Amino acid sequence: MSRMSGRGRFSRPALSETIEALTDIAIRHRDASQSQRLGDVFELNDRFHDTLYRAAGNRQLAKAIPHYTFATQPIRTRAFASRDIRKLAIDEHFEMINALTVGDTDRLSEIIARHIRRPKDFYLRANRITGLATPE
């Protein structure tokens, strides 16, 4: 997924309740990462994305996310051991929140595309499948 489906639903700044929920999850996710609680990192990361996509108002996408999350778990979690990659993901969560706060859907789409691509590329490179990875 290179563009966020349902991004038009964020044509205005997101509801304050959505921003508050995402911020709370992002802070707890950051704290879990800094404390090396990788199980919590995994759970909070999934909760962040589920909350984000549910807020887009696209029911079909929101229903698909748990299936996508499960199917891509080995790919997404491969990079969790890397503190640097976790830090980038955490920073991107806060960038997404900022984009939602001001209703910048183009910026949000760019961040999400990059956010999805990084663990995929990490997995492909780690498994020496470089031909499918995004060029550096």
How much of the chain, in percent, has pLDDT values that exceed 90?
44
Residue 122 has pLDDT above 50, yes or no: yes
Average pLDDT over every residue of 124-136: 73
What pLDDT is recorded for position 1?
Answer: 36
What pLDDT is recorded for position 10?
Answer: 64
32-86 per-position pLDDT tens digit: 999 999 899 989 999 999 999 888 888 888 888 888 878 878 777 777 778 898 9
What pLDDT is recorded for position 73?
Answer: 80
The CA distances from residue 36 to 31, 84, 90, in Å, are 9, 12, 14
Instruction: Report residue 123 as tokens.
Output: 């997995």
